[in-house]
Amino acid sequence: MTDFAGLWDATLVTPIGTMLVVFEITEVDGVIAGVARSDAESVDILEAVSDGDRLTWTQNVTTPMRVTLKFDVTVSGDTMVGSYKAGFFPLSTVNATRSK
């Protein structure tokens, strides 16, 4: 079983440039939750579902615009790679490293 919990320093490629985000992911009794923090805002990680080394979730952000982000990542050790979709924008990449 993959361990998703921890602090993840992430870089999101966005249509307006890169954004640095910290994912604080928790896992208690098989329930995955957390918070995503950026300079702009902090939002809850919602609807998190794990399947092996894969993790999907959503986030409702309001800055720079109100939109739901849908993440689909794979975790291997302390590395997270994948993509996210922001509303009608094209698929974008996300890369993260777990903080030690």
Please state the domain count of the chain. Answer: 1
Residue 91 CB partners (closer than 8 Å, separation 6+): 83, 84, 85
Residue 35 falls inside a structural domain: yes
14 band by pLDDT with thresholds 50, 70 and 90: confident
For residue 59, the domain's CATH number is 2.40.128.20
pLDDT tens-digit profile of 33-72? 999 999 999 999 999 999 999 999 999 999 888 999 999 9
Q: What are phi and psi of 27, to 5 degrees?
A: -140, 115
Q: Which domain holds residue 48?
A: 6-98
Q: What is the pLDDT of residue 1?
A: 58
Residue 84 falls inside a structural domain: yes
Say what the pTM is. Answer: 0.94
Residue 1 falls inside a structural domain: no
